[in-house]
Structure 1
Amino acid sequence: MRRKDFLKIGGMLAATASQASLYGSPISKASKANAPIDFIHDGLLLSPKEYASLLMKLADEGKIKPDYYSNGGVVEELEAKFASLLGKESAVFMPTGTLANHIAIRQLAGQNRRVIVQEQSHLYNDTGDCAQTLSGLTLIPLGTNTVEFSLDDVDSIVKKTQGGRVATRIGALSIESPVRRQKDQLFSFDNVRQLTEYAKSKDIKTHLDGARLFVQPVHTNVSVIQYGAPFDTIYTSLWKCFNAASGAVLAGSKRFTENLFHERRMFGSGLPNAWAFAAVALYYADSFADEYKQAWTKAQQLFTLLRKDERFSIAQFEHGSHIVELTLKNANPTRFKEALAKTNLELPVPIKNSFLLKVNPSLNRETPQNLASRFLAALI
């Protein structure tokens, strides 16, 4: 890509990342005094300036090959990379996770229009009934207000569906892990294996909504590839962990993905140029796992230091991943949050006297000891 062509669309790049907060460097391992850190995001939410600077760097290095309507170029490189990371034969870029999940279950279900989902899933709660409205699918929610559903739950639905006055079949089963509405807790791998084996025996296709899948291995003994292997398809987000301004990847067999760009375009999502998303996600693709592992280790050290002060209480969830609950004793949470913000350290909005802290690679910009000092100073 020529530098002058890149400059022509600089305004567009800034707009796509306009919701981002400021960071000191697009490389999370950069360490400097008072570096911006947050406990809010999954990855590094780059500022417009940082995002454009990184793209300029990659363009100058000749690492951005233009795509054409989201095909070819750096988008194709991204697809190959994430197919490998997810352990699937092939992958297709999607502009959003909502579309990735929707197209996955639409294609997997085929003519069998009933799809089993988690009651707490993004697909069931946060997509405006897109699968029902646009694809005529019937979503059957299981596991009310819980992380998981059971094999008995699924078997009961399958038998009820087959035994109706008009016999029908379940076309697909979708699992989300980590589960955002349940504080990013994990759907157990043992249960995944049971459910996917049962589904295969009934010729039911399976999909994994793994928007934040790449944080899981640090909290389990199961790799991304191992966890995703039983599923026919997997979606993962490009902006949550991999810092793109937008984007997703849907991975599966070559047969599944071969002509999926037609479905993508049918839904109005064959973007004329997707390189601005693909190039950044590709840049971070190989580093997130190690950087998150390092960040979690530092977070554990930080929590150990804070627990020495009786004014802090820190709890991890039973099936948790990167979210922990910090509770303050005899302190004003709003003033505490404001005091930390003055030191370039951002916390989420408090819930009563507690904060749900999300660990991400921005923690690698400071030592646990210095972070603990800032937390303690904010109480005074």
Structure 2
Amino acid sequence: MLRLTSFIHIFRRSMSSSTVNAGLYRNAPVQNVKAVHDFRSDTVTKPTAEMLNVMMTADVGDDVFDEDPTINALQDRIADMAGHEAALFCPTATMTNQIAVRTHLTAPPYTVLCDHRAHIFNYEAAGISFHCGAGLVPVQPAPGQTHLTASVIEKHLVLDDDVHHAPTRVVCLENTLHGMIVPLENIKEITALAHKHDLKTHLDGARIWNACVATGISLKEYCSHFDSISMCFSKGLGAPVGSVLVGSKPFIKKAKHFRKMYGGGWRQAGILAAAGLYALDHHLPLLTTDHQNAQYLAQTLLDLNLGFSLLHPVETNMVWLNAPVPADILAEVLAKEGIRVFGGSGTEMRLVFHHQITREAVDKFVRVLKQFFEK
């Protein structure tokens, strides 16, 4: 218990410090102002005192030996919620995505289909190609369409045995995407097409919780159409670390093998799983407020006629804006008032809401911009 208490003490100290990661996005301006309100991402949340207390008192064991009771409890709970046989707790959603695709792929050559905006294509350091030796085929929606459809996917499937080709083996979807919810009907049609051709399906459900809350569609319904699903706890749910992969028992057994190979075989990580369990009980119900605050900010800015326009519909916890001036300028203005946003030389801005962004923070955000444009 002494060693665990020391860890939590160090963890508390690290969470209370404010550091600026200038390298996270190349165009983000460096600020020396301590942030009070952080709109950069829902990954920036800090554990609450209640969550830290749950972590401190968690029952732990060696997870490589399947002996951490808190991790086992989280895995069992998520598998049940998702309607799948088993689950595997990992450090990150990138790892659960990478492990899932690697586990599905057997004998090369092969390719993986995904949306051209997908995280696995743009933000996982070409991991699919590196870890799996697989080609990644990014697909664009049909003209005038926001999301992928089965008819578009079908045109990109490689199903023959021509020696010049690398057959399609996995179809990956992502829900939500840019804060927008992929319609369940699209999911049903695409996964049905894939399964018709004996292809595996994977869902990057980093923010699937937001989709469930916004639509009222259960996690089990969404997950029933996929062979594997990755669900993140360190985004909207506000846990410090963790993602869970679900699938069949044989799939998860093999996935655990790859998790170990990738260096993800952790030991007494129940302190982190405890945060995930706490988040399910206490932070998941707060997502509705995040969505409401996002819609409130978007509508308020539009009503003020300051020159902002929406790049995407506000369906969950993200607001994508086209600003009247470069984002770098607004990032500097907001930072002086303790508000963090990503900058950039362009005018595109992404604002992400989480349980530590209050309505008062939104009002302050709007007030600062209104004062700036009225000068």
TM-score range, shorter chain: 0.7 to 0.9
Aligned counterpart for 2:231 among listed residues 208, 224, 236 = 236
* 1:366 to 1:85, Cα distance in 2 relative to 1, 3 A: farther
- Unaligned runs of 5+ residues in structure 2 are 21-34
**What does 1:1-380 align with in structure 2 at a 5 Å threshold?**
2=1, 4-10=2-8, 13=11, 36-42=36-42, 44-46=44-46, 53=49, 56-58=52-54, 62=57, 64-69=58-63, 71=66, 72-111=68-107, 113-118=109-114, 119-143=116-140, 148-158=147-157, 160-165=158-163, 169-179=167-177, 183-220=178-215, 222-258=217-253, 260-315=255-310, 317-318=312-313, 321-329=316-324, 334=328, 336-364=330-358, 366=360, 372-379=366-373, 380=375
Distance between the aligned counterparts of 2:297 and 2:51, measured in 1? 33
- Equivalents in 1 of 2:164, 2:320: separation in Å? 48
Contact 2:328 2:345 in 1 (8 A): no
- Deviation digits for residues 54-111 of structure 1, max 9, x if unmatched? 5652256x4x111313532211122123223433332101122222112212222333
Q: Is the 8 A contact 1:178 1:213 kept in 2?
A: yes
Aligned partners of 2:260, 2:135: CA distance in 1, in Å? 23
Instruction: Give the TM-score, by structure 2 length.
Output: 0.79
Change (3 A) 1:324 1:127: closer
Q: CA deviation at 1:199?
A: 1.5
Query: Match for 1:204: what amino acid?
Result: L
Which digits, 9 at most, give the CA deviation of each residue in 1:87-136, with x for residues without a partner? 33321011222221122122223336524322332223333443333334
Residues 298 and 367, structure 1, Cα contact 8 Å, conserved in 2: no
Aligned length: 356
| TM-score, length of structure 1 as denominator length | 0.78
- 2:100, 2:228 within 8 Å by CA — same for their partners in 1? yes
Tell me the C-alpha RMSD between the 2 structures. 3.6
Residues 99, 18 of structure 1: alpha-carbon distance in 2 compared, 3 angstrom cutoff: farther
After the TM superposition, which of the residue ranges 131-140 and 369-378 deviates more from structure 2? 369-378
What stretches of structure 1 of length at least 5 have no aligned partner?
23-34
Q: Return the offset for 1:271.
A: 1.4
The one-letter code of the counterpart of 2:172 is S
Q: Which letter maps to 1:5?
A: R
Separation (CA, whole Å) in 2 of partners of 1:319 and 1:113: 40
2:301 maps to a residue whose letter is L
| Identity, % of aligned positions | 21
How far is 1:234 from its partner? 0.1
Aligned partner letter, 2:207:
R
Alignment CA distance shift 1:315-1:127 (3 Å)? closer
